[in-house]
A and B are shown apart, each in its own frame.
Chain A
Amino acid sequence: MGIKFVGTKPLDVDLIVEGYALNKMGHSLIREENRQEFQADEDAYMAKFGLSEKAVAAVKSRDRDEMMAVGLNMYFYGKIRFVTGGGGPASA
């Protein structure tokens, strides 16, 4: 049986702290009015959530890995992907 045991990995607190605003914005997109607001003016919407420059650049790249690198959680990634035209389910 090829089961890997890796134990408990240390938390990346810096990433948790950095990613919070972006994840909070992702969660906000479960509301239609917020999706419309994002799509009408993406920069203003991101500014409202206080996203860092790095986080703004990551969202604009539309690249999953770049967003993950600034702390985006997978469960909130789907909601950003959907509103930025990436399609697919918002979660899985």
Chain B
Amino acid sequence: MARIVGSVATSHTPIIGKTIAKKRENDPELGLKPFFDAFPRVREWVAEVDPDVVVLVYNDHGVNFSLENRPAFAIGTAPTFTNADEGNGAPPPRTFQSDPHLAWHIAQSLIEDEFDIATCQEMAFDHGGTTALDLLWPDHKVIPLIPVEINAVQPPLPTPRRIFKLGQALGKAIGSYPKDLKVMFLATGGLSHTIGIGGYINEEFDAYCMETLANNPIEIARFTSDDIVANGGEQGLEFLTWVVARGALPDKVDVVTSVYHKPISHTGGGMMVMEAAER
């Protein structure tokens, strides 16, 4: 049977990807060293758990989805995906491999679990997808990945409670897949920020979100999406990708490693690795 080895959640602010591409992680001018310094431990953990497949939980940035069709939840079910021009020039083309058998199993299981998720036979990742991958695999290692996208663009948005339950349903879906596969969740986004505007970093709220997500995630469900915006800015909603990745894990988790660093451009930057607690 397939099993979940754990969840990695991280910010995906564009400057992170650009810094990796230019190999400027230690550049004091950028001030991002404390964030990047946390990642060798993450990569070590990833090597230990050795995932066969990654479920990549992210929010599209008005690239793959326009407002012409805006599902609440979507899953990529194609054998391959590409990266995307986000409006500021086409990046060097990349192709990402998937595992369509597992993806369609997940889609089927979610629908049976009353999550009517949209299936995508084509999906182009923006930095929301690629940044986290590059933090974990700077060498662009090929690892099959299944994208799960949640709407953080335009209300009405799925509630935090619903999003936590989506994570639980994803966990159930993977647990019922007959093939022996080690599956890792990778959630990307957050933490507090509003695009292009300084002053929305809320360190206290970010700390609360990280701590509560690990230890008492159901408490996050008492928020509305607007509560999260009121505290963490409009794009603070991206934290909900973390909630999905947490929902897929058991009630008790251990935090393997984490970091909080601000500012990463105009965002509160965070990373957290969680795995099922030793019983």
Contacts and interface: CB of A to CB of B under 8 A. Distances in A.
B161 interface: no
Contact of A74 (B127, B226, B234): B234
Nearest to A28: B66
B208 interface: yes
B84 A30 contact: yes
Interface in A39-66: 64
Nearest to B156: A11
Contacts of A30: 63, 84-87
A74 B86 contact: no
Q: Give the one of A30, A31, A92 with max B CB within 10 A.
A: A92
Interface class of chain B by DSSP: loop
B231 A91 contact: no
B10 interface: no
A86 to B, nearest CB: 9
B279 to A, nearest CB: 31
Contacts of B96: none
Given A2-B204, A88-B196, A92-B196, A75 B153 contact: yes
Interface string A1-41: 11111111101000010001001101101111001000000
Contact of B231 (A4, A29, A31): A4
Given A2-B204, A3-B231, A64 B196 contact: yes
A91 B127 contact: yes
B235 interface: yes
B126 interface: yes
Nearest to A79: B87
A2 B204 CA distance: 8
Interface of B: 13-14, 61-63, 66-68, 84-90, 126-127, 153-156, 193-196, 204-205, 208, 223-227, 230-231, 234-235, 265-267
